[in-house]
Amino acid sequence: MAKHIQQVRVRSQSPEAPGLKDSIEWVRNIGLTKGLDITLEEMLQKIGFTKERLLSYLRGEYHTMEDLGARLEGAYKELIEGIDRVVINEDLEQILAFEI
């Protein structure tokens, strides 16, 4: 069995907005460090997305000009404000595996 290695992710200071994948991981893992179990379904509801649309988006089958990462982070602004690094205990693959 492969051992999962935790990684610390530092928030980029780049002017580019984060992608949806990074934002999902960021919100989920910050929530975990604060004792909150923020599910993928909750996150998607906040931005008006479905799991099916997310999977289509991740496969490159659904395109939008909207910055979904910034939209998700805006929905959780109070949770993530001022945090510039987080231990990634669950990456997107793990989050999807638990919820789909």
Q: What is the pLDDT of residue 11?
A: 63
What number of CA atoms fall less than 13 Å from residue 71's CA on the CB side?
A: 14
**CA–CA distance, 85 with 10 (Å, rounded to integer):** 4
Q: What is the pLDDT of residue 1?
A: 46
Q: What is the pLDDT of residue 43?
A: 95
**If you write DSSP's letter for every residue of 3-55 in order, what string do you get?**
PPPPEEEEPP--SSPPPHHHHHHHHHHHHHHTT----HHHHHHHTT--HHHHH
Asked which of 11-20, 57-66, 81-90 is least confident by mean pLDDT, the reply is 11-20
Does position 27 have pLDDT exceeding 90, yes or no?
Answer: yes
pLDDT band at residue 45 under the 50/70/90 scheme: very high
CA-CA distances (angstroms) from residue 50 to 5, 14, 34, 57, 71? 30, 29, 25, 10, 15
Does position 7 have pLDDT exceeding 80, yes or no?
Answer: no
